[in-house]
Structure formats: C-alpha cells, structure tokens
A and B are shown apart, each in its own frame.
Chain A
Amino acid sequence: MSTAAVTPGTRVGESRARHPHVNYLNADYGIKSWLLTLDHKRIALLYLASISFFFLLGGAYAVAIRVELLTPAGDLVQSQTYNKLFTHHGILMVFFFLIPSIPAVLGNFLIPLMIGAKDLAFPRLNLLSWYIYMVGGVMTFWALLLGGVDTGWTFYTPFSSTFSNTYVVMAGLGIFINGFSSILTGLNFIVTIHTMRAPGMTWFRLPLFIWSHYATSLIFILGTPVIAITVLLLALERLARIGIFDPALGGDPVLFQHLFWFYSHPAVYIMILPSMGVISELVATFSRKPIFGYSFVAFSSIAIAVFGFLVWGHHMFVSGQSVYAGLVFSLLSFAVAIPSAVKVFNWTATFYRGSISYDTPMLYAFAFIGLFIIGGMTGLFLAATGLDVHLHDTYFVVAHFHYIMVGGAVMGYLGGMHFWWPKITGRMYPEGWGRFSALVVFVGFNLTFFPQFLLGYMGMPRRYHAYPLDQPIWQVLHVMSSAGASILAVGFIIPAIYFVWSMRYGRFAPANPWPGTGLEWRTTSPPPTENFRKTPVVTWEAYEFRPVEEMRIVGPGETADQPADPGHPRNRVAPETLEHGKDKE
C-alpha cells in the first residue's frame, strides 16, 4: 500500500470527515431524507443496514449451533430448541440475507450507474421494496421472539402443517411479505436494463454484472410467486385444516415439497448468480483483461436461470417421488452444472497472461473460484440419485450448500463490497486489513465446513443436536468445525469494523481507484445524486483495458476542488474518459 505525499481530496486544515464535493451522501441531511429517499444509491445503503442486521442475527444462531455440537451429548439445549436454532439460522440467512444481499445492495447501487442511467425505472417501487422487506423482516423477527419455529427453513409438511406447535404461520407470513420485496426488485431490474441503457450501451457491451442480475431478476419474477402461494397454502392448512397436505384428508405432503422446491431451488441460483456477476467484474479488473468468452459467460447466466427451474426434484429423491421423475431431475441437475463450469473455465482463462494484482477484492475472487468448484462438484455427487440416497439429510449436504452460499455467494458479496466501497462511500478501506481478513475468512471457512463433508460421508445426520459417543473422530471433526466458525466470525467482524472506520478516517478515493472500465468508474466517488453530470455515450466494448503506458491520467470525475494526484498509480483512467471529459466540460 503506497502513500502519496498529498492524499487526493485533502489539504492541510481541511476536515477529513466531510467529502469535498456534493454527492448523493451529502446532498441532503436528516432522517427523512433517508427514509423517504427515491435515490437508488441511498436505498441500497438502507438495505445494507438491514441485511447486515439479519446476517448478524443469523450468525448468532449459527454460533449457538456450533457450540452445541462441540460435544456429542445434546447438553446445551433441548432438541426442540435446537430445531428452532437451525430453523432460525436458515430462515434468516436464506430469506433475509442471502437472497437480497448482492441484488439489493450492490445491484440497486450499481445497475443504473453501470448502464448510464439516472436511477432505476421505478424509484418509488424501489423504496417500497425496502419497506416491504422491513415489514417482512420485523414480522419474522417477531415470530422468532415470540417463540420461534422448529420445522426447519424448509417447512416440510405434515410436520409444519399439522403437528408443529410453533409460530409457523407468523414466520411464514413474514417470508410471504418479504417475497414481494424480491419481486419488485426483480421487476425494477428487468425494466431498467431493457429500457434505460445509455446511448451506445448495447446488450453485449454491458458489464457481466448486469447480465447476472438480469438472469437473477428472471428468477425473482418466475419463482418467488410460487413460494408465496405455497406459504399461503401452508397457513391455510394450519389455520383451516383444508387438507391439501394432510393424508388423512386425501392430501399429499409431497405436493408441498414440489411447490416449495420449485422456488427454493431457483432461489439458490438467485443467491449465486449475482455473486458470479461480481466475480466477473473482479477477475477482469484485477487481471486487466476482458473476460475470456464474454458472450459465453453472458449466456451462461441466462442458462443457469433457465435450467435452474428444471431441477427442483433433486431435493426430493428420497421423498417418495417417482423414480422416473427422479431420473429426469438427476439428468437435468448434471446439465445445470455445465453453464457454471463454463464460467469457471472462462474466469480461469481470463487470468492467463493477465496482469494480476492481489488487492483484497481479487483475493475474494480467488477464494470464490476455488470454493465454488468444491461446492459445485459436491452438488454433482448429490445429483446422482444412488449416492444421494446415502448422503441426503447428512452433513455432506450442509457442507455442500455452505461451500456455495458462504464460499461462493458471501465471498462475492465481500469482494464486491470491497471493490465498490470507494465508489459507494468515496473512501478507501485499509488494504492491509482487507487482505488479512480475506485470509482469515478463507481459513476459517474451510476449517468450519470441510470437516462437515467428512462427517456427512460418515453418516452424521443434519439437524441433529447430538451424535454418538463411540465415534471419537466425529467429535474431533465437530470441534474443528466449531473452531473454524469462530475464526470465520472474526474474519467477518474485522471488515465490519474497518468499513465503519473508513467512513470517517479512510483515505478519500478518486473516481477510479483500481482502475475499472465500467461506467460507474467514470463518475465521481461518491457519485452525484443524478449519477452522471452528462449522460454517457458508449462507444467502446466491455472491459477495454489499456496497457498502463497508454492510459492517460486524470478523468472528468475529478472536480476543481478535488484534484487527483497525477503521480498516484490509482488515479489513471482509460483514455475514452478524457475524450468525454473534454466534450462535456
């Protein structure tokens, strides 16, 4: 990390707490300007606060789970309480953290910037989305406080519909309401990407982040309504005993699973696709090369979204589903891995002969690629019906999906937060701490979840709070996993601290610190409320990096009172920027 003689944007005596030029953060003050904002950037920050809260809460439940599993005996909590612990962990993490995270925070913030628009298509719907999310979140949280749910986040019938004595309906309604937040976000993204691209921004010049979010939005629209109606039916069954899932009344519990997984499988693609979009940006920027096979990666995003709807039965191989349906779902599940693999190959090919730098975001990208490969391949193990019979409902499955969701989605989220932090806040985070915590997260994550593959393979069932005493290796693995979890927690806490620290004390960031090639880097850090002073006109392809020698210095993002330090290597931008700067200014 180098230090310049004069940090850009500060002079002797100037307050370091305030950003020198007018931007979306300081354009207006007061709680009303935040709670009634129509600015997509502020709404993104509202989401950031909310999802961070739910992540913390979900993480607390994870801590409780891991503490219980330190010893074979179920001695920390009773089994029904343990059921509530993993249920709450799942519900909060899936519905209130993972599904919104990248789309609601980074997507909301960046999509208009990346396409050269002033805002999303429907700013008021955007704000409504956040409020709906909050109402759903509060309702679910209230259900947890009142006594919680013990059915698992999957709410399988007939336990959830007929036998459970917990707050299923209330939690379910919270999830139902939250679903509309997703739907409105997806609707907004689709319409924005179709209708509000800047002149010259054709589909194949879009950053791959946009393609991923477009594909994710397709899933939001097509899948979320199905979970909505499913939760309603579950509530009807509990309240009115209509009989839809009750065998005694002619119903079929497996119908619930069909309806539930029709959404919940594509939901996991909602969780990973945005992260893949982030990784594409990081890989390109920190290899200083266009993504290898851009159109393949773009189409793979769409293919993942489409194929993702055809495989839900792989959660139901042992549920009593027909063997023939299982066969078809298994085959399709193998097929859905292909576009993901295409992306991994293309990212790797991008590295080849690239100019690699090891900034924090890139470290998270590396982590993503390796961990996603493991998570994805173990998914194929589970897609094989014969093997799944033995691995279903074991810790193998738990490890598999945590490799994807934490090793995949959360790595992308953290990498993206670091990458775009200067754009969002106008401040740099401390790079040394960033790299250190990336390492801590990586070590902690693997220590937590790799032993769980072994445990699952050996037969440890999931959702059990106790395990046999006569298998000492099981306890060893569980202790390793819990130790890893504490390290992982530290790895998450450190960025939380330095991000907050940086908002006041971080070095002021230039318009384009990395430098990146997207349109978001051609406006100030942070951007003005209207995003661009003049609508950009795009005449270049995506990811057009230039060799350092060819790049000229200083872009139009710098204003007179925020001169860039020409000597600073981070203050170089692509030549096109200057062209536009000259025309527009």
Chain B
Amino acid sequence: MSEHIVSRKIYFAVFGALMLGTLLTVVAARIDFGPFNDIIAMTIAVAKALLVVLFFMHVRYGSRLNMVIVVSGFFWLAVMIAFTLSDYESRDWMPRVHDPNEPASVHR
C-alpha cells in the first residue's frame, strides 16, 4: 500500500484492457489452436490478473515486500500443481507388467 494515488485515468484504462481481455478470451475460445488452446486462455487470464494486481491492488506502486508476497503465493500454488501433476503424468512412463487379473477400468 502506498500513499501514492493512482489516477482515475489509469483505472479506466485498466478497465478497458480487462474488457478487451474478456472479449479476447471468449473469441479465442471459439477458435481451435490445437495444443495451444490452454496456453492462450491462461495467458490472457494471467494478463488480466496481473493488471488487477498491479493497478487495482496498487502493487505496482507498493513496497517490494508486497510484490514478494504476491509472487510467493502464486509460486507455491505452482509448486503444488506442478509436483502433483508430474506424478500423474509420469505414472505411465515405466512399463508395467501386465497382470491378467487386473480389471481394465483401472485409471490410465
């Protein structure tokens, strides 16, 4: 938090950008980018979130400590997601011995 007062112009500019971003999200969803679908959707979402964090939440004008806190929050979330998903993704890397008694509906 700072004593710095963000001007209304910036707020409205950010608002406009967020509206644009929402429009982009919807439009992009209708186009099939193949493997990039998720990346594009998330990039737009991250950009919108960044705008809110930096300008509406004043992090752009705040102390470095605030910045570190915000980054660390998302970093730890990323750690939790990355490590867990890596377990799921890598389960099939090792060739499994086929057990004829194992039911076929076991998760792939």
Please state if B93 and A252 are interface contacts (CB–CB under 8 Å): no
Residues on A with beta carbons closer than 8 Å to the beta carbon of B87 = 254, 258, 313, 321-322, 325
Whether the pair B80, A262 counts as a contact (CB closer than 8 A) is: yes
The B contact surface, by secondary structure, is helix
With both beta carbons as reference points, the residue of chain B lying nearest to A218 in the complex is identified as B72
- Which residue on A lies nearest to B89, using beta carbons? A322
Check A258/B107 contact, CB under 8 A, given A322-B93, A324-B93.
Answer: no
* Contact status A226-B94, CB under 8 Å: no
Contact in complex: B83, A325 (CB < 8 Å): yes
Alpha-carbon separation in the docked complex, A243 to B88 (Å):
18
Interface residue? A309 (CB, 8 A)? yes
Report the Cα distance A322→B94, complex, angstroms.
Answer: 8
Residue in A262, A310, A322, A323 with the greatest tally of chain B CB atoms within 10 Å? A322
- Chain A residues with Cβ under 8 A from B72's Cβ? 222
Chain A residues near B65 (CB-CB < 8 A): 194
* Binary B-proximity of A322-356 (CB < 8 A = 1, otherwise 0): 11110010000000000000000000000000000
Cα(A258)–Cα(B107), bound, Å: 17
CB distance from B18 to the nearest CB of A (A): 27
- Kindly list chain B residues whose C-beta atoms are within 8 Å of the C-beta of A30: none
* Smallest CB separation, B64 vs chain A (Å): 12
Q: A222-B76, A252-B107, A310-B79 are in contact. Are A322 and B84 (CB under 8 A)?
A: no
Are the CB atoms of A322 and B76 closer together than 8 Å?
A: no
CB distance from A190 to the nearest CB of B (A): 9
Cβ of B7 within 8 Å of any chain A Cβ, yes or no, is no
- For the complex, is A247 an interface residue (Cβ under 8 Å from B)? yes
Question: Which chain B residues (66-83) contact chain A, with CB distance < 8 Å?
Answer: 72-73, 76, 79-80, 83
Q: How far is the CB of B1 from chain A (nearest CB, A)?
A: 12
- Alpha-carbon gap, A222 to B73, bound state (A): 7
Partner of A226, one of B80, B89, B106: B80
Q: Which residue of A lies closest to B94 (CB)?
A: A323
Task: List A residues 499-543 near B (Cβ within 8 Å).
Answer: none
Partner of B91, one of A222, A262, A322: A322
Q: How many residues of A contact B (CB 8 A)?
A: 21
Interface size class of B (residues with CB under 8 A): 10 to 19
Task: Report the nearest A residue to B72, measured CB to CB.
Answer: A222
Query: What is the minimal beta-carbon distance from A374 to any residue of chain B, in angstroms?
Result: 29
Q: Is the interface of A mostly helix, strand, loop or mixed?
A: helix
Report yes or no: A324 in contact with B90, Cβ–Cβ below 8 A.
Answer: yes
Residue of chain B at shortest CB distance from A316: B87
Closest to B93 in A: A324
Provide the bound-state CA to CA distance between A247 and B72, in Å.
Answer: 34
Nearest CB in chain A: distance from B81 CB, A: 10
Cβ proximity bits A249-293 to B, threshold 8 Å, 1 near / 0 not = 010101100100010000000000000000000000000000000
Residue of B nearest to A255 (CB): B84
- CA A312 to CA B82, docked complex, whole Å: 13
Closest to A326 in B: B87
**A window 292-329: CB within 8 A of B:** 309-310, 312-313, 320-325, 328
CB neighbours (8 Å) of B86 from chain A are 322, 324-325, 328
Cα(A247)–Cα(B76), bound, Å? 28
A345 shortest CB reach to chain B, Å: 28
Bound together, the chains give a CA A325 to CA B94 distance in angstroms of 11
Q: What CA separation (Å) do A226 and B73 show in the bound complex?
A: 13
> Which chain A residue lies CB-closest to B65?
A194
CA A247 to CA B83, docked complex, whole Å: 22
Alpha-carbon distance A320/B65, docked complex (angstroms):
40
**Closest CB in chain A relative to B78 CB, distance in Å:** 11
How distant is the Cα of A322 from the Cα of B93 in the complex, in angstroms? 8
The CA of A258 and the CA of B88, in the complex, are separated in Å by 11
B103 CB → nearest A CB, Å: 10
**Given A222-B73, A250-B107, A309-B80, 19 more contacts at CB 8 Å?**
A194-B65, A222-B76, A247-B106, A247-B107, A252-B107, A254-B87, A255-B84, A258-B84, A309-B79, A313-B83, A320-B91, A322-B86, A322-B88, A322-B94, A324-B86, A324-B90, A325-B83, A325-B86, A328-B83
- List B residues at the A interface (Cβ < 8 Å): 65, 72-73, 76, 79-80, 83-84, 86-91, 93-94, 106-107
Closest 6 CB pairs of A and B: A325-B87, A322-B90, A322-B91, A324-B90, A258-B84, A222-B76
Chain A residues in the interface with B (C-beta under 8 A): 194, 222, 226, 247, 250, 252, 254-255, 258, 262, 309-310, 312-313, 320-325, 328
23 contacts between A and B (CB under 8 A): A194-B65, A222-B72, A222-B73, A222-B76, A226-B80, A247-B106, A262-B84, A309-B76, A309-B79, A309-B80, A310-B79, A313-B83, A313-B87, A321-B91, A322-B88, A322-B89, A322-B90, A322-B91, A324-B86, A324-B94, A325-B87, A328-B83, A328-B86
